[in-house]
Amino acid sequence: MKHSKPEAPEETNAAGNPLPRNWISVIAIIWCGQALSIFATVAASFAAMWYITETTSSAIWLSLASMAALLPVALLSPFGGVAADRYNRKHVIILADGSAGIFSFILALVIMSGHLSVPLMLLLLAVRTGGQAFHGPAMSALMPHLVPERHLIRINSMDQTITSLSSIIGPALGILLYTFIGLQGVMLLDAACAALACCCLGAVRITLNSPHASERKSVLQEMKEGCHFILRDKGLRNLMLLVMFTMLLFMPVASLDPLMTYEHFKGDGFQASLVEAVFGVGLLVGSAAILIWGGGSRRVPLIIVSGIVLGLSLAACGFLQSDQFPLFAVLVGISAAAIGCYNAPIMPILQKRTPDEKFGRVMGIFLAGSSLAAPIGLSFSGFIAEAIGITTWFIVCGTLVALCCALAWFSKNIRALDANNETESNT
25-57: per-residue pLDDT in tens? 888 888 889 888 888 888 888 888 778 877 876
Q: Beta-carbon neighbour count of residue 40 at 10 Å?
A: 27
DSSP 13: -
Separation CA 212–CA 180 (nearest Å): 49
Counting beta carbons within 10 angstroms of the beta carbon of residue 102, is it exposed (0 to 12), middle (13 to 18) or buried (19 or more)? middle
Longest dimension (CA), the chain: 86
Residue type, 94: I
Indicate if the alpha-carbon torsion angle 355, 16, 286, 32 is positive or negative: negative
Contact 336, 306 (CB under 8 A): no
CB 276 within 8 A of CB 257: yes
> pLDDT tens digits, the chain, 427 residues: what are they?
444 444 445 677 666 677 777 788 888 888 889 888 888 888 888 888 778 877 876 656 766 777 777 788 888 888 888 888 888 888 999 999 999 899 999 999 999 988 888 888 888 888 888 888 898 888 888 888 888 877 777 777 777 778 777 777 777 788 788 888 989 999 999 999 999 999 998 888 876 655 555 456 777 888 888 888 888 888 889 999 999 999 888 887 887 787 788 888 888 767 877 887 788 888 888 888 887 776 666 788 889 999 999 999 999 999 999 889 999 999 999 999 998 888 888 888 887 888 888 888 888 888 888 878 877 887 777 778 888 888 999 999 999 999 999 999 888 888 888 765 543 433 3
- The rounded distance, in Å, linking the Cα atoms of 242 and 409 is 11
Question: Domains of the chain (ranges plus CATH)?
Answer: 23-203 (1.20.1250.20), 220-426 (1.20.1250.20)
How far is it, in rounded angstroms, from Cα 399 to Cα 393?
10
Query: Do 281 and 161 form a contact (C-beta atoms < 8 A)?
Result: no
